[in-house]
Structure 1
Amino acid sequence: MKEYFIVENQAGDRIDRYLSEELEDRSRSYIQKLIKDQYVIVNDKPVKANYRLSLGDRVEIELPEAKEPDIVPEDIPVDILYEDQDIIIVNKPKQMVVHPAPGHYTGTLVNALMYHCGSELSGINGTMRPGIVHRIDMDTTGSLVVCKNDMAHQSLSEQLKEHSIRRIYVAVVHGNIKEESGIVNAPIGRHPVERKKMSIHAKNGREAVTHFKVLQRFGDYTYIQCELETGRTHQIRVHMASIGHPLLGDEVYGPRKCPFPYLQGQTLHAKTIGIIHPRTGEYLEINAPLPDYFIQLLDRLRKLKN
C-alpha cells in the first residue's frame, strides 16, 4: 500500500495523471485499470480516473502483486567491443532499452545478451536485470559493461559506488559555450513537479558532478566532452540544461522542437569506459566509435559553419 498527501502544486491534477507520474514505471492505462478496479481510494472512498485532486487529499493505492514475466533470449545483433570470461562491453544503439520493464519486455539489451551469453550472466540483480550494473538512457548510445558472474558484478558495483569507473561522453549542446572547460556541481533528484524528470532543485538531491570541455564550436551549437564523477539519472542532460546549454535533440530538458528532425532523442554518446578488471586487477579502457547519425550531424554542422 502506498499513501500520498496532496500539496498545493498538485491540486487540480487528474488522479490518473498524478499517479502515472508518481509511479513512473507504470503506464497511465495501467493506473486507470487500478482505479476502475477500486485499488485506488481518496479520503477512504473509491474515485474515477477523471477525479480532480484537492489540497490535503489522502490518496491510497494498493498495487497487486505482479508476477515477473519470463524474459526470453532474442537473436538481436549486439555490437561487442570487448568480451572475456567475466565481463562483456557492448556498444548500445539508439532506441534500445537496457533491461526489461513494464512496457518493454522484449527487444532489450538483456534479451539480446541472454541469447548471446546463454546462462553466463550475473544473477545479482534478478531475472529482469541479469548482469546489469549500470545503464544508459534508451536514446543514448555507446559503451556499457555487463557482468557474466557475481564476482565481477560485486567488483564493478563497488567501483561504481566509489566513483572510480571512468566514464566519458560526447554530446552536442545548444548555444556557444564561452569557457574552454568547466565543472557543474549540483545535486540531482526527482523534479518537484514533473515526476518523470530530474532536477537540480529537488529537496533531497544527491551529489552530482560533471566535468565538461569544449571540443569544437559551431556558433549556435557546441560539441563537448563530459566526464562523470557521479552517475545520477539523466545527469549530463540535467546539468547542461541547468547552465543554459541543453543537449541537441533532448525534448525533455531542451526545446520541444528539434531543428534537425532526423535526430531521435538527445545527441549523447558514451564514448569511453574505464574499469579495474575484476579478475586481473589491471586497468581496462574501451572506446565506442561514434554512431553514424552523430558523424553525419557533425559533418553537417561543420559545413553550416563554413
Structure 2
Amino acid sequence: MSTFEFTVTEEQHLTRIDKVLSDLMKDVSRSQIQLWIKDGHVLVNDSATKSNYKTETGDHIYVTVPEAVEIEAIAEDIPLDIVYEDEDVIVVNKPRGMVVHPAPGHPNGTLVNALLYHCTDLPGINGEIRPGIVHRIDKDTSGLLMVAKNDQAHESLVDQLKAKTTKRVYQTIVHGVIHHEHGTVDAPIGRDRRDRQSMAVTDENGREAVTHFTVLERFEHYSYITCQLETGRTHQIRVHMKYIGHPVAGDPKYGPKKTLDINGQALHASVLGFTHPRTGEEMLFEAPMPEDMEKLLKKLQDSR
C-alpha cells in the first residue's frame, strides 16, 4: 500500500478534486481516482471527500493506494490467436464458441481465463489484476476484440467507443435477398419483454442502436454482407437484421430453425480500428473469417 501527499496550488483553486488528482497522478485514470475517493482512500485535510469537491489553495490531499487484488477468475493455459500486443493493449481473434467473461454456467474456459494466463505483467484495472475487456462479442460470434492491459488504456478505449471513433466491421450471411446495395438500421434496442434472455427493437426501454450494412454478394435465398457498428448494444447486428427481415444464418436465438449448416451464427468481427491510447497511432486490424464460415460462403457461391 502506497501513500501520496499533495498541496493544492493557486492554479488548482476551485478545481474538482478528481481532476486535480488525475492531473497530478498521470498514470492513474480519473475513473480509478473516483473509485478511491468513493472508497475513502482520499482525504482532504484529514477528512473524507467527494469527487465533485472543489479544492482550495493550501488544501492537503492524502491518497492511499490500495494493493491490487486478484479477481476470482483463474488463469488457464488456453491457446489464443493474438493479432497484436504491446504494453497497453492486446487484440485477440476470438474463436466461435468461446465466452468472453466468466459467468454462471461458464466459470472456466473463457477469454478472461486465457488472458490471465497469457498476460503475466498485468498492472491492474481499477485495482484488480485483470485484463480490461473494453467490448464483447457473443459466444458464438468469432473475431477481433481489443483488450486493455492498464487503467489508462482502458479509459482511452472506452472513451473511443463512447465517441464512436472506433471501427468495427462484421462479415455475415443473412437470410433472404437484400436488393439495395447499402442501408442503415437506426432502431433502439432493449430487453425483450416477452423473453428476458433476448433483446429486441423497442421504444419502451431501448437505447440508441445504429448499424450500417453493405451487400457484397447475393444468392438464391441468402445475402453476404458487411455490417459496421456505430453503437455497440447487446446482440445488435443479430437483432437489427432480424428486425428488417434478414436474420443472421445459423442464429439459434433470432433466426429461423431451417437455416444453413453452421455451428453458431455466421457472424465474424473481421475489422477493428482504434487510436492507440499511448502513441496516438491509428491502428487497424483484419482477421479472416473462420474456416467453416468460409466453406459455407464458397458452397453458396458454387451453387449459384
What band does the TM-score fall into relative to the shorter chain? 0.7 to 0.9
Q: Is the 8 A contact 2:144 2:272 kept in 1?
A: yes
After TM superposition, the structure 1 = structure 2 runs for residues 2-151 of structure 1, keeping only pairs within 5 Å, are 70-120=72-122, 122-124=124-126, 126=128, 130-151=131-152
What TM-score, normalized by structure 2, do the two folds share?
0.74
Q: Is the 8 A contact 2:71 2:128 kept in 1?
A: no
| Aligned-partner residue type, residue 206 of structure 2 | G
> Structure 1 residues 153, 304: closer, same or farther in 2, change over 3 A?
same
**After superposition, what is the alpha-carbon deviation per residue over 1:108-133, rounded to whole angstroms, capped at 9, x for unaligned?**
01111111102416423956x63111
2-structure distance, mates of 1:269, 1:164:
20
Q: Secondary structure at the match of 2:296?
A: helix
Quote how far apart the aligned CAs of 1:258 are: 2.8
Gaps of 5+ in 2: 1-69
Quote how far apart the aligned CAs of 1:171 are: 0.2
1-structure distance, mates of 2:71, 2:273:
34
1-structure distance, mates of 2:277, 2:231:
20
Quote how far apart the aligned CAs of 1:202 are: 4.7
CA RMSD of aligned residues (A): 1.6
**After superposition, what is the alpha-carbon deviation per residue over 1:245-285, rounded to whole angstroms, capped at 9, x for unaligned?**
0000012111023342xx11110000011001000111101
Q: Is the 8 A contact 1:121 1:147 kept in 2?
A: no
Identical amino acids, percent of aligned pairs: 57
| Aligned-partner residue type, residue 264 of structure 1 | N
2-structure distance, mates of 1:232, 1:165:
14
> Structure 1 residues 241, 126: closer, same or farther in 2, change over 3 A?
farther
In the alignment of these two chains, the number of paired residues is: 235
**After superposition, what is the alpha-carbon deviation per residue over 1:181-231, rounded to whole angstroms, capped at 9, x for unaligned?**
100000000011111111112512000000001011112010000001100
Q: Is the 8 A contact 1:89 1:144 kept in 2?
A: yes
> Structure 1 residues 90, 125: closer, same or farther in 2, change over 3 A?
farther
Q: Is the 8 A contact 1:183 1:210 kept in 2?
A: yes
**After superposition, what is the alpha-carbon deviation per residue over 1:137-195, rounded to whole angstroms, capped at 9, x for unaligned?**
00000000011111100100111111111100010000000111100000000011111
| Aligned-partner residue type, residue 228 of structure 2 | E
Q: Is the 8 A contact 1:177 1:214 kept in 2?
A: yes
What TM-score, normalized by structure 1, do the two folds share?
0.74
2-structure distance, mates of 1:116, 1:296:
31
2-structure distance, mates of 1:291, 1:267:
9
Q: Secondary structure at the match of 2:133?
A: coil
Corresponding residue for 1:236? 237
| Aligned-partner residue type, residue 279 of structure 1 | R
Which has more strand, going by share of residues?
Answer: 2
Greater CA deviation, 249-258 or 100-109? 249-258
| Aligned-partner residue type, residue 255 of structure 2 | G
Instruction: Indicate whether 1:184 and 2:185 are aligned.
Output: yes
| Aligned-partner residue type, residue 274 of structure 2 | I
